[in-house]
């Protein structure tokens, strides 16, 4: 744990009063979607900057700009809000309809896709349990998922459905039936699920199959939407829950029940009258 006695502009994981860093809302160019998601990514990144620098390196120019800004803020040579604004300029240049300036909103699902759409996403394959032959699949292992209608009961079940081959396969080596479970050489270390008011149970852990065994990703936070405004809650690696609302002061505070284990699934789905919109899972 880093000391709370740091120079202004640096990003301690916890201050003496239990707060964490977050982004302040821009009342001229509405920024709540960016504030909610970027605050969550910031606090994941802060826990292990070197590890996440390597992970985020393949996520494209928008994420590169964000992480460079986090590093400047950490050194005290830049602000989080300036970082957000630089990313917004790039996003707006790429698609002004999805990422407008002014008093217009943006979709946090579209934002997550733009930030986490890895340029080097691994290709999945099926594995024959008889002769160990790999059967390549014409697809990629995504980092952002839209949970649509016909939603399974939980985020775990939804992810399993996304990572299963929809048609039966036969091994090209021994002609045996092959399991429909996807495998990949490098499972994602972070994913986002755009649930958009769907009645889905938020699982504490989801799994993605690697070469021979599954890789676990842990629930790290939720973005909520209500009254034309996004807020967020995120989980520290110590299992503490923090709440962020950039329209107030930009800082993040311990949530009412402080610990993730004290929340029921129903309580996670609603926060201050707002409904869960995006769920993030990541390595701890």
Longest CA–CA separation in the chain, Å: 65
Q: Which residue has the tokens 């602000």?
A: 79
Distance from C-alpha of 239 to C-alpha of 259, rounded to nearest angstrom: 6
Q: Which of 142, 123, 120 is nearest to 55 (CA)?
A: 120
Q: Which residues pair with 219 in a beta bridge?
A: 281
Query: What are the b/e assignments for 90-120, b being 16+ CB within 10 Å?
Result: bbbeeeeeebbbeeeebbbbbbbbbbbebee
- pLDDT, tens digit only, all 284 positions of the chain: 333 344 344 444 455 456 778 899 999 999 999 999 999 999 999 989 999 999 998 899 999 999 999 999 888 898 999 999 999 999 999 999 999 999 998 999 999 999 998 777 778 889 998 999 999 888 878 889 888 766 668 888 888 888 888 788 899 999 999 988 888 888 899 999 998 877 788 999 999 888 878 899 999 999 999 989 999 999 988 888 899 999 876 667 767 667 777 787 778 888 888 999 999 999 98
Question: 171: how many CB neighbours lie within 10 A of its CB?
Answer: 19
* pLDDT the model gives residue 151: 61
The answer to whether 63 and 116 have CB atoms below 8 angstroms apart is yes
- Domains of the chain and any CATH numbers: 32-282 (3.90.70)
* pLDDT the model gives residue 4: 37
The structure's pTM equals 0.88
């Amino acid at each position: 744990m880093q000391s709370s006695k740091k120079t202004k502009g640096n990003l301690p994981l916890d201050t003496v009063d239990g707060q964490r860093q977050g982004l302040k809302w821009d009342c001229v160019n509405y920024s709540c979607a960016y504030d909610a998601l970027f605050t969550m990514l910031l606090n994941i990144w802060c826990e292990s900057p070197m590890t996440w620098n390597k992970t985020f390196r393949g996520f494209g120019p928008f994420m590169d700009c964000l992480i460079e800004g986090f590093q400047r803020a950490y050194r005290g040579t830049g602000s989080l809000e300036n970082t957000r604004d630089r990313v917004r300029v790039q996003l707006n240049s790429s698609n002004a309809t999805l990422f407008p300036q002014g008093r217009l909103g943006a979709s946090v699902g579209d934002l997550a896709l733009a930030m986490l759409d890895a340029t080097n996403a691994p290709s999945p394959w099926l594995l024959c349990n008889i002769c160990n032959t790999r059967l390549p699949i014409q697809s990629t292992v995504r980092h952002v998922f839209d949970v649509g209608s016909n939603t399974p009961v939980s985020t775990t079940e939804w992810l399993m459905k996304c990572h299963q081959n929809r048609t039966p396969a036969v091994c090209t080596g021994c002609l045996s039936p092959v399991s429909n479970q996807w495998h990949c050489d490098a499972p994602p270390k972070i994913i986002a699920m755009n649930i958009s008011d769907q009645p889905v149970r938020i699982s504490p852990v989801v799994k993605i199959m690697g070469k021979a065994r599954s890789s676990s990703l842990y629930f790290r936070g939720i973005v909520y939407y209500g009254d034309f405004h996004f807020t967020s809650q995120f989980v520290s690696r110590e299992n503490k829950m923090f709440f962020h609302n950039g329209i107030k002061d930009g800082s993040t505070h311990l949530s009412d029940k402080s610990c993730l284990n004290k929340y029921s699934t129903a309580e996670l789905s609603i926060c201050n009258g707002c409904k869960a919109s995006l769920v993030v899972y990541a390595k701890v």
